[in-house]
């Protein structure tokens, strides 16, 4: 009995010691987090830390901060500050703090990073818009478990640390919007797992590193808005590459070969020369190609226009010449073509000349026989047509006085070209006209310059095509918002349909405003809303504010004008009543990934992020190519300024985008039977997912017959996490997106092996 007593005492002491050590480990991590808050000079986004008495690992995620833990260790830390994202002169950055933009002169980036490295289990680190300044220390490599590192929109300068070459677990590196001003290092091939390399909007110099061409896993290379120069090497070995964004640099070689997998190529505003390689006409997955504002010459390949997936083709402002064949074939998905400001001659091919609701074509500033858009004439079109022999060139060079009139003539021509270009680019949206047709695509969305810049949420949002409509024209085209143009209600306001003069359809949202609404504050919020542009968001084209006149009884109105998406909503394609139209599993995954990208963009592209986006399957619209576009988003931005009676009820779950997206996932798995059933229905059916027999009872038959079971299991797992009753247990949207992409990869591999 005595031995048992001694054993019990020893066991108790051991358990007490173990618990104390565990608590001490957790306390150490907590102290590190509070030290980080101190280094960041107590940003408002972290005020909640000081008022939270429980374990910080249980702190609910918000738009500004997220902490996730595994056991007693922090594995994910995301903080978004409120420092203005304003570019300043580089001479004011190198070695100095900037008042009101950076942390104070007392901030030490070396001490800060030293403290960060005490979180040894970190896998995700995102510190955005916090005013962090100084050279990024080499000791950042001590965070050897990092998979995601995002330090965008700060004031870091100097070189990318060489010791980062040892961070072999990295799959995402984003240092956008800083002031790195050295060459891009040539050791990136050491990061063999890297998927995303994004260093855009810095001051990086030198050439494109050849080592990048050795990273087989790269999906996304974004190095736009830097000072890169020299040759762009052959990229065809990057067999996983989907996105290449090198806009606004000084690259001056011929265009290199591209991998067959590439989807988006953005090379505008460089100095690329020579012909467009004929191999570009073999890139069957290519959707967006922007080669504008370079020095490309000769005639573009005919096959470029007929690629099966090409939707955006911009070849404007080069030196392209020759004529396009009249029988040129345009791809079915080609929605926007810009060949303006070149030296193309002859007739415009019929597939580019015809007026269509589905295609916008710009061809002004050439030497074409078409005259519906302004063309060049005279010596501009005649220059360069004759091919001189070597002795003729020598004679011309010898007669030096000929140079002077040539220079003068060139000056006149450059003025004319610049004038035509300015006139052409300053065109605004045509007036809206009402029509009752139910088909068509907003070609203005495709025509918008921001369409391509938002393909992958690249850089500052361009808003040159967002405009203010007059209330009179909107009332005119809807017959004063007559019932015949009414198509339904959104989460806020009533919806009406109209179309532009060229036949592009629009949807107009009419919202009653409170008389206490501050128009000035509303315009600030609308400016933010206009910047939410993404290929998977229904585009906001403009707005109008009707002040209601001088009559006190009149109600002020806000009108929001959107593109019209013609092919119905996602929910209708899940219907068991139309099995012939029901989407197969791989198509559902593609749509879900598109929507997840859009929501992640809403959360991260603006500060503060845009949350509470009314996520439902019937708010996911599909265009004619089944590309998803999320509607009814961003209303939380203007909700405080509108009529209170139209605002949504204060329900935290309604504003949780991850939670609501979980039900979109659930409905994608089981069909519309789950629509509107809520958490209780899901929890009741959840157990059915755990066995094959259970899945056969609950999963949509179309999904069962077209899915790979491993891919399905991944989707089921992330669905369960999203609909977790505890908000702190729900994943971030980055996690959701990663899991869906992984599920799609597993599905694609299985289909390829069949």
Q: Name the more confident of 12 and 48.
A: 48
pLDDT for position 729: 83
Tell me if residue 540 falls in helix, strand or coil.
strand
Q: Can you give the pLDDT at residue 502? A: 54
Over pLDDT 70: what percentage of the chain?
79
163's tokens: 């010791």
Task: Report pLDDT for 688.
Answer: 77
Cα 3–chain centre separation: 68
Write the pLDDT tens digit of every residue in 443-453.
Answer: 333 333 333 33
Helix, coil or strand: residue 505: strand
Cβ-contact 688, 710 below 8 angstroms: no
Q: Which of 73-82, 214-223, 339-348, 378-387 has the lowest mean pLDDT?
A: 378-387
Joined together, the tokens standing for residue 663 give 């039900």
Give the pLDDT band (50/70/90) at residue 400: very low
Q: What is the pLDDT of residue 318?
A: 96
- Start-to-end CA distance of the chain, whole Å, equals 68
- Residue 339 to residue 268: CA distance in whole angstroms: 13
Whole-angstrom distance, CA of residue 712 vs CA of residue 328: 43
- What integer is the mean pLDDT of 528-555? 78
Cβ burial of 284 (10 Å; 0-12, 13-18, 19+) is exposed
Q: How far apart are CA 626 and CA 1, in angstroms?
A: 76
**pLDDT top residue among 117 and 86:** 117
> Are residues 289 and 314 in contact, defined by beta-carbon separation less than 8 angstroms?
yes
Q: pLDDT by residue (tens digit) across 717-736?
A: 999 899 888 888 888 888 89
Neighbour-count burial for 566-580, b at 16+ CB within 10 Å, e otherwise? bbebbbbbbeeeeee
Contact by Cβ (8 Å): 161, 186: no
Length of the chain: 754
Specify the pTM.
0.56
Say if residue 542's pLDDT is above 50.
Answer: yes
Sign of the Cα pseudo-torsion (450, 451, 454, 455, in order): negative
Strand partners, 622: 628
The CA distance from 249 to 145, in Å, is 33
E-state strands within 252-392: 264-266, 273-274, 288-290, 295-298, 312-314, 319-322, 336-338, 343-346, 360-362, 367-368
Structure token pair of residue 103: 């942390």
What is d(CA 377, CA 324) in angstroms, rounded to the nearest whole number? 18
pLDDT in tens, 613-627: 999 999 999 988 888
Q: Which residue has the higher pLDDT, 390 or 739?
A: 739
Closest residue by Cα to residue 634 from 609, 665, 607: 609
Closest-CA residue to 541 (of 526, 560, 569)? 560
Across-strand partners of 585?
none
- What is the tens place of the pLDDT at every residue in 634-653? 888 887 667 543 444 444 45
Gap between the Cα atoms of 432 and 561, Å rounded: 10
> Does 3 have pLDDT greater than 70?
no
Instruction: Please enumerate in sequence order all residues whose Cβ is within 8 A of that of 31, keeping only pairs 6 or more positions apart, or say none.
Output: none
How much is the pLDDT for 94? 65
C-alpha to C-alpha distance for 480 and 482, rounded to whole angstroms = 6
The one-character DSSP state at 248 is: S
Other CB atoms closer than 10 Å to residue 558's CB: what's the count?
23
Q: What pLDDT does residue 346 have?
A: 92
**Rounded-to-integer distance, Cα 459 and Cα 721, Å:** 31
pLDDT averaged over the chain? 80
Per-residue pLDDT, averaged over 675-679, amounts to 67
CB distance 204 to 177 below 8 Å: no
**Binning pLDDT at 50, 70 and 90, where does residue 7 land?**
very low
Domain 569-754 architecture: Orthogonal Bundle (1.10)
CA distance 278 to 303: 8
Q: Which two tokens stand for residue 327?
A: 């029988």
Cα torsion 135, 137, 138, 143: sign: negative
Q: Sort strands 360-362 and 336-338 into parallel, antiparallel or unpaired.
A: parallel
Domain extent listing, the chain = 1-182, 428-566, 569-754
497: β partners: 507
How far apart are alpha carbons 557 and 471 in whole angstroms?
9
Mean pLDDT of 565-581: 77
Which phi and psi angles does 515 have, rounded to 5°? -65, -20
Tokens matching residue 548: 């209601």
List the Cα angle 210/214/220 in 5-degree steps: 90
pLDDT in tens, 310-362: 988 999 999 999 999 989 999 988 888 999 999 999 999 989 986 555 678 88
| Closest residue by Cα to residue 301 from 258, 242, 250, 356 | 258
Measured CA to CA, the distance from residue 389 to residue 717 in angstroms comes to 71
For 695, phi then psi, to 5°, come to -65, -40
Q: What is the pLDDT of residue 211?
A: 92
Region 255-284: what's the mean pLDDT?
95
Pick the CATH number of 428-566 from 3.30.200.20, 1.20.990.10, 1.10.3720.10, 3.40.470.10: 3.30.200.20
- The residue-averaged pLDDT of 239-265 equals 94
The pLDDT of 74-96, averaged and rounded, is 78
Q: Count the alpha carbons within 13 Å of 514 in the hemisphere toward its beta carbon.
A: 15
Comparing 607 with 704, the larger pLDDT belongs to 704
pLDDT of residue 437 exceeding 60: no
Nearest of 412, 410, 402, 348 to residue 384 by alpha carbon? 410
Confidence of residue 548 (pLDDT cuts 50, 70, 90): low
Query: Which tokens hold the place of 348?
Result: 């415009």
Contact 215, 194 (CB under 8 A): yes
- How is the chain split among helix, strand and coil, in percent rounded to 5? 35, 20, 45
Q: Do 578 and 700 meet the contact criterion of CB atoms below 8 Å apart?
A: no
Instruction: Name, in order, each residue with C-beta under 8 angstroms of 499's C-beta and a sequence gap of 6 or more.
Output: 432, 433, 434, 435, 437, 440, 505, 506, 564
Note the pLDDT of residue 444. 33
What does the pLDDT read at residue 204? 95
CA dihedral 340, 346, 347, 348 (to 10 degrees): -20
Question: How confident is the model at residue 689, as a pLDDT?
Answer: 80
Cβ-contact 208, 233 below 8 angstroms: yes
User: Which fold, 1-182?
Assistant: 3.80.10
**What b/e readout covers 495-518, taking b as 16+ CB neighbours within 10 angstroms?**
bbbbbbebbbbbbbbbbbbbeebe
CB atoms under 10 Å from CB of 554, counted, come to 12
Number of DSSP helices (H) and strands (E) in the chain, helices first: 19, 33
Percent of the chain residues topping a pLDDT of 90: 42
């Amino acid at each position: 009995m005595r031995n048992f007593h001694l054993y019990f005492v020893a066991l108790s002491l051991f358990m007490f010691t173990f618990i104390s050590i565990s608590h001490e480990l957790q306390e150490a991590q907590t102290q590190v987090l509070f030290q980080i808050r101190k280094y960041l000079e107590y940003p408002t986004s972290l005020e909640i830390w000081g008022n939270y008495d429980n374990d910080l690992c249980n702190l609910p995620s918000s738009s500004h901060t997220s902490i996730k833990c595994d056991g007693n260790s922090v594995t994910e830390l995301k903080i978004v500050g409120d420092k203005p994202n304003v570019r300043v002169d580089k001479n004011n950055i190198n070695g100095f703090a900037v008042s009101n933009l950076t942390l104070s002169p007392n901030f030490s980036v070396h001490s800060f990073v030293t403290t960060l490295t005490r979180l040894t289990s970190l896998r995700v680190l995102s510190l955005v818009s916090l005013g962090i300044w100084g050279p990024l220390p080499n000791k950042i490599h001590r965070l050897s478990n990092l998979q995601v590192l995002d330090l965008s929109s700060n004031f870091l300068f100097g070189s990318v640390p060489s010791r980062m070459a040892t961070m072999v677990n990295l799959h995402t590196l984003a240092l956008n919007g800083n002031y790195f001003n050295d060459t891009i290092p040539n050791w990136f091939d050491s990061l063999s797992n890297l998927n995303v390399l994004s260093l855009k909007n810095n001051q990086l110099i030198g050439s494109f590193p050849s080592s990048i061409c050795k990273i087989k896993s790269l999906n996304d290379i974004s190095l736009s808005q830097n000072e890169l120069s020299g040759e762009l090497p052959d990229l065809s070995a990057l067999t996983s590459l989907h996105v290449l964004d090198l806009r606004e640099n000084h690259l001056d070689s011929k265009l290199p070969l591209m991998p067959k997998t590439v989807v988006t190529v953005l090379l505008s505003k460089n100095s690329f020369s020579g012909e467009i390689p004929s191999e570009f006409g073999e890139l069957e997955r290519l959707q967006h190609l922007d080669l504008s504002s370079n020095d490309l010459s000769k005639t573009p390949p005919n096959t470029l226009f007929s690629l099966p997936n090409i939707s955006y083709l911009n070849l404007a402002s080069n030196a392209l010449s020759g004529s396009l064949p009249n029988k040129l074939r345009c791809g079915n998905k080609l929605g926007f073509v810009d060949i303006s400001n070149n030296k193309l001659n002859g007739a415009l091919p019929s597939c580019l000349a015809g007026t269509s609701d589905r295609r916008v074509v710009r061809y002004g500033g050439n030497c074409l026989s078409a005259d519906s858009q302004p063309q060049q004439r005279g010596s501009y079109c005649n220059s360069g047509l004759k091919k001189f022999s070597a002795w003729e060139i020598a004679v011309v060079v010898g007669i030096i006085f000929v140079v002077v009139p040539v220079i003068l003539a060139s000056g006149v021509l450059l003025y004319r070209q610049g004038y035509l270009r300015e006139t052409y680019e300053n065109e605004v949206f045509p007036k809206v006209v009402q029509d009752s047709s139910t088909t068509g695509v907003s070609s203005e969305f495709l025509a918008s310059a921001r369409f391509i810049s938002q393909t992958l949420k690249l850089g500052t949002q361009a808003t040159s095509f967002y405009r203010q409509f007059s209330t009179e024209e909107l009332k005119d085209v809807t017959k004063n918002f007559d019932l015949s143009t009414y198509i339904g209600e959104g989460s806020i306001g009533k919806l009406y349909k109209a179309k532009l003069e060229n036949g592009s359809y629009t949807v107009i949202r009419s919202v009653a405003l409170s008389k206490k609404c501050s128009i000035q504050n509303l315009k600030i919020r609308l400016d933010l809303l206009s910047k939410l542009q993404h290929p998977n968001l229904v585009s906001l084209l403009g707005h109008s504010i009707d002040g209601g006149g001088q009559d006190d009884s009149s109600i002020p109105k806000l009108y929001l004008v959107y593109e019209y998406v013609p092919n119905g909503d996602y929910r209708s394609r899940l219907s068991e009543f139309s099995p012939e139209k029901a989407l197969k599993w791989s198509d559902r995954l593609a749509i879900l990934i598109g929507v997840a990208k859009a929501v992640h963009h809403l959360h991260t592209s603006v500060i503060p992020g845009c949350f509470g986006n009314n996520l439902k399957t019937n708010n996911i619209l599909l265009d004619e190519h089944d590309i998803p576009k999320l509607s009814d988003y961003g209303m939380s931005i203007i909700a405080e300024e509108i009529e209170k009676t139209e605002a949504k009820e204060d329900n935290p779950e309604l504003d949780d985008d991850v939670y609501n997206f979980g039900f979109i996932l659930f409905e994608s798995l089981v069909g519309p039977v789950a629509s509107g059933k809520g958490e209780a229905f899901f929890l009741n059916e959840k157990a059915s997912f755990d066995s094959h027999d259970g899945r056969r009872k609950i999963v949509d038959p179309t999904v069962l017959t077209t899915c790979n079971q491993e891919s399905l299991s991944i989707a089921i797992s992330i669905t369960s996490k999203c609909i977790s009753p505890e908000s702190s247990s729900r994943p971030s949207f980055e996690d959701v997106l990663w899991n869906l992409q992984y599920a799609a990869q597993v599905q694609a591999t299985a289909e390829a092996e069949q």
